Amino acid sequence: MARRARYSRWDGSQRGFDLDAEQLLEELAEDLTHHGDADAALRRLLQEGFRDRAGRQVQGRRELLERLRQQRRQRLAERDLGGVYEGIAERLREVVDTERAGIDALEEAARASGDQRRMDVVGEAAQQRRQELDFLPPDLAGQVRSLSGYEFTSPEARERFEALVEELRSEVARSWFDQLAGDMGRVTPEDLARTKDMLAELNRMLEQRAGGVEPDFAGFMSRFGDLFPEQPRSLDELLEVMARRLAAMQAMLNSLNPEQRAQLQGLSDQLLADLDLRWQMEQLGANLRAAVPGAGWEASYDFSGTDPLSWGEAADVLGELGDLDQLEHLLANAASPSSLAEVDLERARQLLGDDAAESLEHLGQLADVLAGAGLIERREGRLQLTPRAVRRIGAHALSQLFSRLDAGTLGRHQVPRLGAGHERSYQSKPYEFGDPFNLDIHRTVRNALQRGGGGTPVGLRPDDFEVEETEAATRAATVVMLDVSLSMEMKDNFLAAKKVAMALHSLISGRFPRDYLGMVTFGRLARQLRPEQLPEVSWDFDFGTNIQHGLALARRLLSRQRGTRQIVMITDGEPTAHFEEGMAEPLFHYPPLPETLDATLAEVNRCTREGIAINTFMLDASAELRRFVEQLTRLNRGRAFYATPETLGAHVLVDFLDRRRSA
């Protein structure tokens, strides 16, 4: 049969498309600009959360953990686990009190009859029964065992006791079997028999594995898979499921005081012995403790509420608390968003609500969404940005910097000279004598049709001609010298400088693709950098500002370029390191040595002789830096600017565009 689909206009109310790769990248842009580590940036987003494209808040790990812990505190503050013990003890006392009242009533009836022999027989039987009741064992299991063989006088007491035993048997069976074989509801004899078979086979598989034989897991699941709604895919997963179930039951016993624990354990053992399951369960518990030691066997909870729990309710609440613990452990130890793929979203929805489950789902998709959009990829075990992502982050930095410029400055970004040149401006004008005959065919034919109407052939006249305008073409070569010395980070200058470098890369690669852009970082040493490596650049954990080495490296890069050539140097300190001839390591000294200043200015002279302009952007107003830059500009005739981290971008971008237009 053909499949059919229905489509409707998007009105904002439909679910879907909540995560957008470009929007996620924008959320990550600040972190990625700072250190370029995609793994670290995703961990930060995982921790803090974000808003999806619909404006809904995606809760981060910190908020989800607090919500999870609040759910745990709420359960512990509302319920009283001691009610499991007290409720059973109270009901047994009621059975005994009812029986004593029945004995008293029987004696009273015998006395009222006036029959001496009846009074003697009834009196003797009453005394015997009272003694049996007086000497009932103090523990719950002993009381149930003794009353099971007791000959009740009161029909009401007998009915109450039988109902209590049946209810306890059902609750104990259901709580244990729910742990062992999922939610079975009412336990039937057939359920018991099948579960015993399952336990026996599971214990046999564990023994086989311990003996080095691989068990038939597939066969086991074909026979008993319906008992495991989690649908484990291997024996190890099955053992984890079973261990979590039994550990939750053990947590209930651990949470009781020693007297209550002994009472309930004894009662449980007696009832389970009646069901012929005690041995299988003990064996399974021992096997699972050995196979899954980290399942939380020692967990316990401090209930402080007043609402008593029945046995069955206690098992349910302890199961929820165990699931909350497991989810907390997974969240707290998630090294990356992809780790959350293991979360049972339906169980998280039951425990924390729809919005928390949706947040977990979105957090687990972060890396996949970015990878699917071609923005990150895994190389050598690490998530790394793709060239496309680098361009997008640069464009984000560029838009931020342009948004800070005032309207008058922004208007200066357009190239004013139109006319003969090489770059198309995508504008046209009526042809005038002397214009290059770059005919705009579309506009020329349209003019002829407007003048002469439709039909063919189309008659052209000189007045119909329009020609394309061109911009005066220039080619510029720029090397950005980025100071990565330790002081740049200590003075909070590094991030702003790095953003400017990424913005320049975006501007040049997008608007002036024929231009050359080189990158050089300098601290104690200078290094050439490919633009796509920019996001990963960080400051040097070392002292030294080796401007001499940076200028020498930038000059070599520009020596292979043509057109207007310039160095854009962003720094917050005067030179404090340099290379001398024959030295393998730079010489560092603070305050700067005269030799360092001389070596640096000698490199400035070499740049000047080769026609390379040096434009310096100072991020510190110290007198020493000002004196050095004044010397540099006198020698090179470049320009110098004092900027703050907030104004640096505007200075650099406007100066770059001005120089390119005037070239």
Q: In the predicted model, what is the mean pLDDT of residues 605-611?
A: 94
Lookup: tokens for 356:
């928390």
Residue 513 resides in a domain? yes
Amino acid at 558: L
Q: Are residues 297 and 341 in the same domain?
A: no
Q: Are residues 648 and 539 in the same domain?
A: yes
CATH of the domain at 519: 3.40.50.410
Q: Are residues 259 and 200 in the same domain?
A: yes
The pLDDT score that the predictor gives to residue 22 is 81
Q: Are residues 270 and 322 in the same domain?
A: no
The helix (H) or strand (E) run that includes residue 642 is strand 640-642
Q: Are residues 512 and 640 in the same domain?
A: yes
Please report which confidence band the pLDDT of residue 407 belongs to, taking 50, 70 and 90 as the band edges: very low
Please report which confidence band the pLDDT of residue 611 belongs to, taking 50, 70 and 90 as the band edges: very high
- Per the listing, tokens 């995606």 go with 58
Please report which confidence band the pLDDT of residue 186 belongs to, taking 50, 70 and 90 as the band edges: low
d(Cα 108, Cα 123) in Å, to the nearest integer? 10
Pick the range with the lowest mean pLDDT from 71-80, 194-203, 382-391, 463-472. Answer: 463-472
Q: In the predicted model, what is the mean pLDDT of residues 558-562?
A: 88
Instruction: Report pLDDT digits (tens) over 152-161.
Output: 988 999 999 8
Lookup: tokens for 147:
């009353």
Lookup: tokens for 217:
């897991």
Residue 13 resides in a domain? no
pLDDT surpassing 50 at residue 145: yes
d(Cα 398, Cα 393) in Å, to the nearest integer? 9
The pLDDT score that the predictor gives to residue 172 is 65
Q: In the predicted model, what is the mean pLDDT of residues 413-417?
A: 36
The pLDDT score that the predictor gives to residue 596 is 94
63-73: burial string, b at 16+ Cβ within 10 Å, e else: bbbebbeebbe
Please report which confidence band the pLDDT of residue 188 belongs to, taking 50, 70 and 90 as the band edges: low
Q: Are residues 289 and 200 in the same domain?
A: yes
Q: 141 vs 223, which has greater pLDDT? A: 223
For 209, the 3-state DSSP assignment is helix
Q: Are residues 487 and 636 in the same domain?
A: yes
For 619, the 3-state DSSP assignment is coil
Q: Are residues 261 and 373 in the same domain?
A: no
Q: In the predicted model, what is the mean pLDDT of residues 416-438?
A: 59
Residue 408 resides in a domain? no
Last residue of some domain: 277, 301, 325?
301
pLDDT surpassing 80 at residue 298: no
Pick the range with the lowest mean pLDDT from 113-127, 474-488, 531-545. Answer: 531-545
Q: Residue 71 — φ and ψ, nearest 5°?
A: -65, -40
**Average pLDDT of the chain?**
79
For the chain, the domain total comes to: 5
What's this model's pTM, rounded to 2 decimal places? Answer: 0.57
Residue 53 resides in a domain? no
Share of the chain above pLDDT 70, in %: 80
Residue 54 resides in a domain? no
The pLDDT score that the predictor gives to residue 486 is 87
Q: Residue 385 — φ and ψ, nearest 5°?
A: -70, 145
509 alpha-carbon distance from chain centroid: 33
pLDDT surpassing 70 at residue 170: no
The helix (H) or strand (E) run that includes residue 194 is helix 189-210
Give the largest Cα separation in the chain, rounded.
Answer: 148
The pLDDT score that the predictor gives to residue 246 is 73
Q: Are residues 458 and 578 in the same domain?
A: no
d(Cα 618, Cα 626) in Å, to the nearest integer? 8
The pLDDT score that the predictor gives to residue 632 is 93
Share of the chain above pLDDT 90, in %: 15
Q: 656 vs 434, which has greater pLDDT? A: 656
Instruction: Report pLDDT digits (tens) over 75-112.
Output: 888 877 666 667 778 888 899 999 899 999 988 888 88
Q: Are residues 205 and 233 in the same domain?
A: yes
Pick the range with the lowest mean pLDDT from 16-20, 455-459, 636-640. Answer: 16-20
The pLDDT score that the predictor gives to residue 272 is 59
Residue 366 resides in a domain? yes
Q: In the predicted model, what is the mean pLDDT of residues 357-366?
A: 86
pLDDT surpassing 60 at residue 17: no
Please report which confidence band the pLDDT of residue 273 belongs to, taking 50, 70 and 90 as the band edges: low
The pLDDT score that the predictor gives to residue 404 is 56
Enclosing domain of residue 282: 172-301
Instruction: Report pLDDT digits (tens) over 192-251.
Output: 677 778 888 888 888 888 888 889 999 988 988 887 777 888 888 888 877 776 776 677
Pick the range with the lowest mean pLDDT from 165-174, 337-346, 479-488, 565-574. Answer: 165-174
pLDDT surpassing 80 at residue 162: yes
Q: Are residues 270 and 380 in the same domain?
A: no
* DSSP annotation of 439: B
Q: Are residues 121 and 222 in the same domain?
A: no
Amino acid at 42: L
Residue 392 resides in a domain? no
The pLDDT score that the predictor gives to residue 631 is 92
Residue pair 251/296 in contact (Cβ under 8 Å)? The answer is: yes
Q: In the predicted model, what is the mean pLDDT of residues 446-467?
A: 83
d(Cα 552, Cα 569) in Å, to the nearest integer? 13
616-655: burial string, b at 16+ Cβ within 10 Å, e else: bbbbbeeeebeebbeebbeebebbbbbbebebbbbbbbbb
The pLDDT score that the predictor gives to residue 521 is 94
Residue 27 resides in a domain? no
